A and B are shown apart, each in its own frame.
Chain A
């Protein structure tokens, strides 16, 4: 999961399949870390609590940093994703204009064929 461990393992067994599997695992780990960090922010809103929980999360990721075996890594990632799914916040903070946020499609742009005729009250009487 760290670049140093990846480079050392690549020198030892330079099979392309191994590298692509490691790269895919690294991407899964990064995306998982990103989602877990956002979830931590959802649960621990106050910043001092969030910093505490974020460092704990980072410790948990760093503890498995130097694992070399592909299957162990896969199993660790699957376990971590399961625990992430278990701990997801029911009402996460989403930026208002993004899908799921409060301003999403609040004022959609009207379809192009529609025109508004500004009469300002000059109706059929005139």
Chain B
């Protein structure tokens, strides 16, 4: 019993010795990290314009009736891409699924081109 305690004490000691050496060897050199919360993910959910454009173009390019080479951020779905009004509805639904938005029916009816879609999504507070 006493031998067991002695062995345990002996095994515990090296671990404590290591932790004393650990923090001193690692320099905490990030500037301003004590003032700012460096590991917080608060406030990073606003999409940047480039990200919105990127994702909107990816959705439109993956539409089977669209030729990916003709897609640009200024393209109009019915005039430039030769799509139908029902295809327009399908694209808006795909954008809703991509950005986890719920667009009211009358607003969704007005989204006719990539430019409008990007504007709407960028200005939407809940765009994911």
**Interface residues in chain A, defined as those with a beta carbon under 8 Å from any beta carbon in chain B:** 1-3, 26-27, 29-31, 33-35, 37-38, 54, 58, 61-62, 94-95, 97-98, 101
Contacts and interface: CB of A to CB of B under 8 A. Distances in A.
Given A3-B78, A38-B93, A30 B102 contact: no
B85 interface: yes
Contacts of B126: 95, 97
A61 B108 CA distance: 19
B78 to A, nearest CB: 7
A34 B85 contact: no
A124 to B, nearest CB: 33
Contact of A58 (B85, B86, B88, B109): B86
Contact of B109 (A27, A38, A61): A27
Interface in B25-80: 78
* Chain A interface mostly: helix
A119 B109 CA distance: 52
B102 A34 contact: no
B119 interface: no
Closest 7 CB pairs of A and B: A98-B102, A95-B102, A34-B89, A31-B105, A33-B89, A97-B126, A33-B86
B84 interface: yes
Contacts of B117: none
